[in-house]
Structure 1
Amino acid sequence: MTTSIIIFTNVVVATPPELPVTVLDTTQLTTMNQLLERITDQRVIFVGEQHDRYEDHLNQLAIIEGLQARGHALVIGMESFQQPFQAALDAFIAGSIDDAELLRRTEYFERWRYDYRLYRPLLHFARSHRIPVIALNLDVELTSKVGISGIEGLNETEKAKIPTDIDRSNSSYRQRIEAVFNQHPNTQKINFEHFLDVQLLWDEGMADRAAQALIDYPDRTLIIFAGAGHLEYRQGIPNRLLRRKAVNIAVLLNGTAYTPNTTIADFLLYPQSAELPPAGLLGVMLDPSTDGNGMIVKDFVDSSGAKIAGLIVGDRIIRIGTTPITNYSDIRIALLDHAPNQILPVEIERKKLVGNSEHLTFLVKLN
C-alpha cells in the first residue's frame, strides 16, 4: 500500500473582517414616566404607529395622558383624518356630535378603514379634556390623482390645495421610498416618480398643516400621531416641519421593528404586544357600487353567519339592529361593538320575480 504525504506551504490565514457592532447598554433602559420627564420641554412630539397595532395606540394614549397630568396644554394632530373634514373633528371635541356621526361626517371607513376602536380612546380622552384634534392628512382624491399622473397632473384648483414648497433634495429619503416601492409587485404598472410624489405630498402636506397648528395654538405642545414610515430618520414629516418652524422636537417609535441606532428616532419604545377583542362580522361581501340606499350582498365568506341565517346574494341590507343602513360606514358603525357569536336582527329588502320587493328580518349569528 502506498502512503501519500501532502504538505501545505505558504498558507495565509485571512484576518476576519471587523464588523460594526451596536451595543445597547441595558443599564440605561428607562420607563414611560422617565420618558415623559425627558420630553417635557419639546414643542412637538411625534409618536409613531403601525396603524393596526393596538400597543402603538396604547403608547400614544399613555403619552397624552402623562403630559396632560403634568400640566401640559396639548393639541393633537392625526394622520387618520383628512383635512377637509376638520369641522367634524371640531364638533366631536366640542361634544356636539357622537362617534357615529364623526365617522359618517369624516367618511372614516371609506378613507381610512382601520378599526375605529384603535383610535377611540385617544379621541375620547381629547374630548373629555377639550384638547383640539387636527386632521393632518390631505384628501385622498388629491393623492390618488397624483399616484396616476404625478403632481404635474393636478389642475390649478387642485394645486392650490397642496404645499407650494416640496423638498426633493434628500437622496436617502428617495432611496428609502424606492426600497418600499420595490418590495411590492407592481401589477398596476405604477410609475415610481408618481409613487414618490404621493409620499412627498403626504409628508409635506402633514408637515404644512402641523406648522399651521403651531401658529394657531402657540401655547400648546403639539403631539403628532402618524405612521412610523412618515417619521423614521426624521425624513418625512419631522424635518419638513422643521423647515417651516424651528422648534424642539422628539420622535418616538416602536423599537420592535428596527435595529437600534442613533438616527432612526430619539426614543425607541418596546411595549408588550396587545390585541383588541375580535370584532363580530356578518360574513358577507358587499357591492361597492350600491346606490346609497342600503348595501347589496355580493357574496359570502365560508361559514357565513348571514348565509346560514337565510340571506342570499342580491339582498339589500337596510337595517342592522337599530341602525338604518344607507352605506358602508353604517355597516361598520352598526357592528362596531359587537363580538363574534352575538346575534343581531338584520333587515333586508329582497326582489321578487313578480311583484314588489319584500322586507325580511333574519337573526344573524356574527362570525
Structure 2
Amino acid sequence: MAVLTMVEAEAGERTAAMPPIVVEPAKSATLPELMTKLRNERLVYVGETHTAYGDHLLQLDVLRAMAAHGGELAVGVEWFQARFQPVLDDYLAGRISEADFLRDTEYYERWRFDYRLYRPIVRFARENGIPIIALNADQELTSEIRRVGIDGLSGELRSGLPDDYDFSDKTYEELLRGIFDLHQSENAQFQRFLEVQLTWDESMAQRVAAYLQQHPAGRILVLAGKGHVSTRAGIPARVTRRTGIRGTTIATFSPSSTLSNAADYLVLANDENLPPAGLMGVFLDEREDGVFVKGFGHDSPAQQAGVSEGDLIVSIDGQPIRHFADVKIQTMDKRPGDEIELTYSHQRVLLGPETRSARFKLAGESPH
C-alpha cells in the first residue's frame, strides 16, 4: 500500500488493530506521477464512498489521465444495472437527452444518489467517446435472492445469475458477517445476505472480465463502492480468477483504509462538497395518478406559498411531472434562492380539484 501525500493522525488511543501510520513526504507520489506509472495498466479500480464528492473528483482525474494516454478505454460503473446498457449507449451516442437517460435507466428509483456526483464523469465519457459499461446486477434478481436465496430462484431469474461463484474466501465472508451482525435483524438469514453480496461482486467482475477478453488491447477503469474494491476480495479477486489480470486498486484515504491491504494506492483527496441544492421543503410520494405532497419540512417555502398536504404536483417551470424522477430532474440544477413556478392540483371539499400555481424561492438546507 502506498499513500500519496501527508497524513496527520487524529488524537486518540493507539490500538494494535490500527497503529499510527507514518508517511514520508519525500517518497510520496503525486497523482499525475502515479498515472504515468500506471499508463500501461489494463485494469484500474477506484473505490468510492457513494456520497463523497471528493472520491468522484478523484475518479474523474484518473479517467482524464487514462484517456490522455490514448488507446482503447472503457469505464465500468456500479451506478447502472446491466439491463439498461442500451439506454446508456443511446445517451453516450447523443441519441437521447440527459433527462430521458435518467428516466429510462430508472436512476432515481434504483441508485438514488445525487446524480450531480456522477455527472462530470458521465459527461467526460460522452464528450470523449469513451464507452461506459453498466456493471451492476439487476435489482429484481438481488431482491429475490434476498427473499428466497439462489436455490429458490425461478428459471427466468436464474438466467440472470453470473456464470460462476466462488464461496471459498473466508476472509471475505468474515468481513460480511461483521457488517451483517451490525445492521441485520435477528430473523434475517446471513446465507442470503452473502449470496446477494456475491451476486453483486461476481456479476460486476464477469462484465469487467468480458470487456478485457473481448478487447485484448483495451483498458478499463472500474468505479465502484469501496466495499467492492477494498482488500481485493470483492470485484478484483473475481476478475483475476476469470482473466489472470490483477489490476491496480486506488482509493481515498479514510480511517478504515489503514488496513495494509485496503488498496494498492491511497490518495489524500481534498474534502469537497457539491454546491448546495435548492429545496422546496416538501416530502413527496408517488401513486398511480402522479406525485403528491406528503408533508413539509421546517420553514418550507412551498408550504408558505400555499401548497397543502395531499396536493398533486402537475408541473415545475412548465415541465410536466408524472413521476418522482421528474421532480429530481427538474430541480437538479436549482440552487438556494432560485425561483420556481409550481403548478399543482388542490382537492377542494365538495367542489373537486382545482389547478393552482405558486412562485417561490427555494430553500438552502434540508427540511428537518
- The normalised TM-score by structure 1 is 0.90
Cα deviation 1:127-157 (Å, max 9, x = unaligned) = 1111000000011111111112221221111
Q: Is the radius of gyration larger for structure 1 or structure 2?
A: 1
Which secondary structure does the structure 2 equivalent of 1:183 belong to?
Answer: helix
User: Which residue number in structure 2 is paired with residue 39 of structure 1?
Assistant: 38
User: Which residue number in structure 1 is paired with residue 216 of structure 2?
Assistant: 218
Distance 2:217 2:122 in 1: 21
1:1-367 aligned within 5 A = 23-184=22-183, 186-187=184-185, 189-288=187-286, 290-291=287-288, 293-367=289-363
Partner AA of 1:335 in structure 2: T
Aligned partners of 2:236 and 2:246 also within 8 Å: no
**Cα distance change on mapping 1:86 and 1:20 into 2, 3 Å:** closer
Which secondary structure does the structure 2 equivalent of 1:207 belong to?
Answer: helix
Q: CA deviation at 1:21?
A: 7.1
Distance 1:256 1:325 in 2: 40
Number of corresponding residues = 347
Distance 1:219 1:93 in 2: 22
Aligned partners of 1:146 and 1:154 also within 8 Å: yes
Tell which deviates more after alignment, 278-287 or 347-356. Answer: 347-356
**Cα distance change on mapping 1:173 and 1:216 into 2, 3 Å:** same
Distance 1:313 1:98 in 2: 33
Cα deviation 1:235-288 (Å, max 9, x = unaligned) = 000010111111241000112233545422111111010000111121111223
Partner AA of 1:60 in structure 2: Q
Distance 1:275 1:188 in 2: 37
Q: CA deviation at 1:24?
A: 3.5
Partner AA of 1:331 in structure 2: V
Q: CA deviation at 1:41?
A: 1.6
Q: CA deviation at 1:322?
A: 2.9
User: Which residue number in structure 1 is paired with residue 8 of structure 2?
Assistant: none
Runs of 4+ in 1 over 4 A off after TM superposition: 19-23
Which secondary structure does the structure 1 equivalent of 2:254 belong to?
Answer: helix
Q: CA deviation at 1:357?
A: 1.7
The answer for unaligned runs of 5 or more in structure 1 is 1-16
Which secondary structure does the structure 2 equivalent of 1:287 belong to?
Answer: strand
Aligned partners of 2:253 and 2:268 also within 8 Å: yes
Tell which deviates more after alignment, 226-235 or 347-356. Answer: 347-356
**Cα distance change on mapping 1:148 and 1:222 into 2, 3 Å:** same
**Cα distance change on mapping 1:324 and 1:200 into 2, 3 Å:** same
Q: CA deviation at 1:364?
A: 2.7
Q: CA deviation at 1:343?
A: 1.5
Aligned partners of 1:43 and 1:248 also within 8 Å: no
Identity of aligned residues (%): 38
Give the root-mean-square deviation of aligned CA atoms.
1.8
Which secondary structure does the structure 2 equivalent of 1:265 belong to?
Answer: coil
Aligned partners of 1:50 and 1:56 also within 8 Å: yes
Cα deviation 1:96-115 (Å, max 9, x = unaligned) = 11211110010000101111
Aligned partners of 1:147 and 1:190 also within 8 Å: no
Partner AA of 1:343 in structure 2: E
Q: CA deviation at 1:163?
A: 1.0
The answer for unaligned runs of 5 or more in structure 2 is 1-15, 364-368
Aligned partners of 1:75 and 1:217 also within 8 Å: no
Distance 2:299 2:67 in 1: 47
Which secondary structure does the structure 2 equivalent of 1:344 belong to?
Answer: strand
Aligned partners of 2:278 and 2:334 also within 8 Å: yes
Distance 2:250 2:327 in 1: 35
Which secondary structure does the structure 2 equivalent of 1:277 belong to?
Answer: coil
